[in-house]
Amino acid sequence: MTTDHAPLLSVQNLTVASATGGAPLIDGLSLTVRRGEVLALVGESGSGKSLTALSITRLLPRGLRITGGEIAFAGQDVLTMSPAALNRMRGAGIGMLFQQPQAMLDPTARVRTQVAEPLILGKGMARRAAFARVIDLMRNVRIPAPEARAKAHAFELSGGMAQRVMMATALAAEPELLIADEPTTALDVTVQAQILQLLKAEQARRNFAILLITHDLTVVQAFADRIAVMYAGRIVEEGPAAQIMADPQHPYTRALIRCSLLEPEADGRLLSIPGSGATARDIACGCRYAPRCHVVQGDTHLHHRCCGAEPGLIGLGTDHAVRCHASQTQASAA
Amino acid sequence: MAADITLSRQATTTEPATPPGHGPLRRFLGTRHWTFAAGSVIFGTILAVLILGPAIWSLDPAKQDIIQRLKPPSGQYWLGTDNLGRDVFARLVEGGRFTVTIAALSVLISVVIGVSIGILAGRLGGWFEEISMRIVDLLIAIPDTVIAIFLVAIFGPGHVTLIVALTIVGWTPYARLSRGLALQVNAMDYIRAAEVLGMTRRFILIRHFLPNLIRPISAVTFLRFGHKLITVGGLSYLGLGVQPPAPDWGLMLAAAQPYLDRAPMLMIAPGLAIFITALSVTWIGHGLEIDRTKPKD
């Protein structure tokens, strides 16, 4: 489904740091999302995935700020946008789904009031017309008995139902890009599959782009056109989904795939990566993954190199890039 | 499968717990904590008497009947007469209109000012929060009696002075409370969701902050309203509020003092009036607070 137009979203050298100083939490991150494609941003907790998403909509929490780089959405510079233009972009340009759908709904308002907000405020629809449209939107995301559901409050909905409502809200203003930040993590496995199918169906119908943020590679394989793997605030591997899943180049990507249900170990157990996920703050020197990397462990020569200097993001052919001394050495040797 | 889940949900949630009894009023009171029900009934009755009383019984609080002075309660004078032979019940009703109105107005103005400043402080942060909260710290240390004495010295006694005196300090607890609540609400995901949808700041404040703050603030408002009633009575008692001949519960207490041994009802009546009114309002606030913090089933 990949299309070769100008990118819809382009992030260049994004750096996010705490206002009080210290090491940046996102360090020189670049990514592009083309119109109509699904880019999966994969990584452990704390790697900076969600911060990337919040940076794109300029909604970083208090105390964090973008200290460098460029973000362009549909040709417009997001970092210099006026507040009014930002609000327009957030509603009509970029929609978002989050991890805890029930918490995303205001407990004091009815469902239809919230789904109608972008219609009334963003599109200037009349209240009555907006409420009628809400029923359609809710039917589109397969909410049974939408008329009754529309009058319900958030606490009367199940997690899956709430995520459908959020989807209806996010799609109400017909955005060109949907940022889905772990949209199924908090849901039951069966409901996860329903939500993902629905997301895919809606995407196929309306052809918007999706930036899917997840740590779940089973989701990625079924869903994404391209993958960007993040570790400790940096992208370590990026490329077409099929290629990365079939032939991962970075040891971290390989380990992530072996950690998932897609590729259990010979004895049926799942691999776990030693150590815990580093955030961009606990970087000593060299490659950020080196302390946990199984390739580095047995090789003194590599150990010296990987802990000495951080590798650059080097292209391995069209559209595939990796940030690793070991695989770059192999590639040049071959 | 999804349909099954939602159907069973619907069955449990759309059925409200029907309390025993019929009628909307019964249902309104029956689902709430008993202190709320009792408080609203008592306070409602008091309000009805204060509002409708003069018209129903054609009472004249100023009419003097010097021969009938300091009489105990009787068929003609339900609560007896005072030192000038005036009907204590009539004066109680007339005085209550002053006391309750002054307390209510000062609370209302305090809530509006305090909540606006508090929400803005919590939502905007920065220098506005810093300055407004330091002003709160400063004012909260000053008792309203001191401010009342100060203002009376400048402007002279009267109900406007009284309301101003009560409001100057009165808004601070609401500001502090709503700032805290606003910080809480601001951390909620549904505020992020609204921001993500491109809603304007003002829209989010009105549509998402206010509704989520109203319940806790209304509980505290009623609790403090009871407290304000006592303060109004106390300040009038000290001669800092309503001036004679206008009756006021605090003023009536002060005037009754010399006759405590001959006509105790003269003091008991306004004292009980303040006590019962303050208690009923406090009960309403208490009931609201309990209902708010009670876990939902």
- pLDDT at B23 > cutoff 70: no
Q: How many CB atoms lie within 10 A of CB B267?
A: 17
Residue B25 resides in a domain: no
- Whether B18 shows a pLDDT value over 80: the answer reads no
Give the list of residues 6+ apart from residue B78 with CB closer than 8 angstroms, or none: B88, B89
pLDDT of residue B268: 86
- Residues of chain A contacting B14 with CB distance shorter than 8 Å: 148, 156
pLDDT for residue A291 is more than 80: no
Does residue B74 sit within a domain?
A: no
Q: Is B204 a domain residue?
A: yes
Question: Is ipTM strictly over 0.85?
Answer: no
pLDDT band at residue A127, thresholds of 50, 70 and 90?
A: confident
CB-based contacts of A177, cutoff 8 Å, min separation 6: A8, A9, A33, A73, A93, A94, A95, A208, A209, A210, A211
Domain count of the fold of chain B:
1
Give me the pLDDT at residue A198, please: 86
pLDDT attached to residue B2:
43
Residue pair A203/A140 in contact by the 8 Å Cβ criterion: no
Q: How many CA atoms lie within 13 A of A127 on its CB side?
A: 1
A58, closest residue in chain B (CA to CA):
B196
In a domain, B273, yes or no: yes
- B213 assigned to some structural domain: yes
Please report, for the domain that includes residue B121, its CATH number: 1.10.3720.10
User: How far apart are alpha carbons A237 and A168 in whole angstroms?
Assistant: 33
Region of poorest pLDDT, from A169-183, A318-332, B87-101: A318-332
Q: What is the pLDDT of residue A252?
A: 87
> Which chain A residues are Cβ-neighbours of B203 within 8 angstroms?
117, 121
Q: Express as a percent the part of chain B with pLDDT over 70.
A: 88
Work out how many CB contacts closer than 8 A connect A with B: 104
- Is residue B238 one of the residues assigned to a domain? yes
The pLDDT of residue A146 is above 60 = yes
The residue among A112, A333, A149, A325 whose CA lies nearest residue A236 is A325
Residue A5 distance to chain B (closest CA, Å)? 26
pLDDT in tens, B216-274: 888 888 888 888 888 888 888 887 777 777 788 888 888 888 888 887 888 888 888 88
Question: Given a cut of 70, is residue A46 above it in pLDDT?
Answer: yes
Which of B225, B201, B214 lies closest to B285 in space, CA to CA? B225
The Cα B90–Cα B60 span in angstroms is: 6
The pLDDT of residue B118 is: 92
The pLDDT confidence band at residue A3, using thresholds 50, 70 and 90, is very low
The strand pair at A7-18 and A26-34 is best described as antiparallel
In-domain check, residue B28: no
First CA to last CA across chain A, in angstroms? 31
pLDDT in the model for residue A280: 61
pLDDT score of A108: 85
- B26 within a domain of the structure (yes/no): no
pLDDT > 70? residue A4: no
Q: Which domain holds residue B158?
A: 33-63+79-293
Cβ-nearest to A121 among B13, B14, B199:
B199
Q: Determine the pLDDT at residue B36.
A: 86
Is residue A91 within 8 Å of A174, Cβ to Cβ? Answer: no
Chain B hits for A149, Cβ within 8 Å: 6
Write the CA distances from B230 to A161, B249, B272, B275, B276, integer angstroms.
51, 10, 11, 8, 11
